Chain A
Amino acid sequence: MGDGRRVRMTKQQIIDDIHAGMADGADAARVPELSEEEMERICEIVCDKNKIVSVEPGKEVVLSKDAGTTKFNMANNGCGVGIPSTGLLDGQLIYERCFAFDSMEFAWMDYSIKPTKAVIDFMLINYEQMSQMTTMPLVMGAMPNMGLYFAPDGPHANPTDLMREFKIEESMAASEAAADQLTNDIGYICERIGEVGCEGFDFDTTASAGDAEFVATLRGIENYRKIDPEAYIECGMSAENVLGIHGSMEYDGKIVAGMYPHEQVKLVEKAGANIFGPVVNTNSSRSFAWNVARSAVIVKECEKVSNIPVHVNLGMGVGGIPMCELPPTDIVGRSGKILIEIANVDGI
């Protein structure tokens, strides 16, 4: 189930859930439905009796990362395993040579643009040395996380508090002001990381504070691309659709609120990113079959319309994976296989 419980279902129940989840996804995102053959294939993979399920040799895809090596020394509330270590340094090499990762992020433990700005010199001097030891593509990474710019953590009034007081115009103004500040901070960081030959930046969990954050990040990517035409830029999302906290924010003449992955990717592409990371939220009350079919139909259209590689977000609470601390291994393998085979993703 979407909450991590193991349940027993008949084959017919699984088939019914695949159809229902797929239809729900197609309706929500307004994308074409999967074919009967594709849903039968999903059923075959879901019903595979083996615990470890993977793709055929030759069908492997590459991996990029969310939050880099911070998982080593963080506690479980940061999804970490709590090993006293310097994840930023030895962690990079462990990911490269023990886990055979394809690329990695150099990420500050407080994984957001605002706190990273405060420690940028620390990040630069350590990145510069680690770039000489690592072989894989090594980019910096952080969440735009515009929520940190609002009260009580930041200088701008909280838009949701203002909305509760029916101060709609003030709420929109606060979002716009915070978005401008976020774009400026992204610009500062991206300019500084060029000083040490940083290969690029992963904007992860984008639009967690809604449409204004998405626009601020797109503007930040656009500016970064202008100052560094060769930068490696990845932009991953926080949720399947963009929340309209502001409601009228536009990028490239389009209102971004309510956009789904196949629409989001076109703006990310336009801004100048190299890789897009779509999200499909897991419904914790529904079965894995329901959730993964829903993910497949939404991500398939995103991959189809995209001119840049698509690395689907596949982890706790997204991409069909249950919302729990230790995602079951049998589910993780099946999700990956289904999204590679049915949605044709370029990476995870």
Chain B
Amino acid sequence: MQFAKNMKIDEAKKYVADKLEVDPFQLTEENYIRDIRDKLGIGIITGLPGSAMGMSAKMNMEDLLGIKIKNCEHFRNQLKR
């Protein structure tokens, strides 16, 4: 959100926390946020087979945060369906 909307740190944390429906304080609560991230399909750092990562996680992030990510747009434009 800092890159996409020029948000300063507190505003960016609140924006993301609101979208994830958590308290900003919980964004850095490792074990708690890991489960939320897995549930929402926005990527976790451990290698869990079947869990969203990379492009699929970024596309889920776009929907959740209400933004467009350029390389997701590029990927969609390459699809022929």
Partners in one complex: yes
With CB as the reference atom, state the residue of chain A lying closest to B57. Answer: A135
B55 at the A interface (CB under 8 A): yes
Q: Across the interface, do A135 and B70 meet the contact criterion of CB distance under 8 Å? A: no
With a CB–CB cut-off of 8 A, which chain B residues contact A274?
2-4, 6
A interface, by DSSP: helix, strand, loop or mixed?
loop
| Complex partner residue of B2 from A58, A62, A196, A198, CB under 8 angstroms | A62
Summarize B's interface: helix, strand, loop or mixed: helix
> Any chain B CB within 8 A of the CB of A160?
no
Q: How many residues of B contact A (CB 8 A)?
A: 32
Q: How far is the CA of A103 from the CA of B68 in the complex (A)?
A: 17
Interface size on A, residues (CB 8 A): 36
Known: A61-B9, A346-B9. A138 touches B71 (CB 8 A): yes
Whether A309 pairs with B74 at a CB distance below 8 angstroms is no
CB-defined contacts of B72 to chain A, threshold 8 Å: 197
Partner of A275 from the list B3, B47, B53, B55 (CB cut-off 8 Å) is: B3
> Quick one: closest A residue to B5, CB to CB?
A274
Q: Does A308 contact B (CB under 8 A)?
A: yes
**Minimal beta-carbon separation of B66 from chain A (angstroms):** 14
Q: Which of A100, A307, A309 makes the CB contact (< 8 A) with B45?
A: A100
Q: Please, which residue of chain A has its CB at the minimum distance from the CB of B76?
A: A197
Q: Could you tell me if A275 and B2 are in contact, using CB atoms closer than 8 angstroms?
A: yes
Residues of B near A135 (CB, < 8 A) are 42-43, 53-54, 57-58, 61
Partner of B8, one of A60, A132, A134, A346: A346
Instruction: Find chain A residues with CB under 8 A from B75 CB.
Output: 131-132, 197
Chain A CB within 10 Å, residue with most, of B4, B47, B77: B4
- Judge if A347 is at the interface, Cβ distance under 8 Å: yes
Interface residues of A in 125-155 (CB under 8 A from B): 128, 131-135, 137-139
B30 nearest in chain A by CB position? A100
Chain A residues with CB under 8 A of B57? 135
Most A CB contacts (10 A, CB to CB) among B47, B69, B71 go to B71
Contacts of B43 in A (CB 8 A): 135
Going nearest first, the 4 A-B pairs with the smallest beta carbon separation are A197-B74, A232-B3, A135-B43, A197-B71
- 26 A–B contact pairs at CB < 8 A? A58-B28, A60-B28, A97-B45, A100-B45, A128-B71, A128-B74, A131-B74, A132-B55, A133-B54, A135-B43, A135-B54, A135-B57, A197-B72, A199-B69, A199-B70, A230-B70, A231-B70, A232-B4, A234-B3, A274-B2, A275-B2, A307-B6, A309-B9, A346-B2, A346-B9, A347-B2
Supplied contacts A62-B2, A309-B7, 5 more A-B pairs, CB within 8 Å? A57-B29, A132-B71, A133-B53, A197-B74, A309-B9
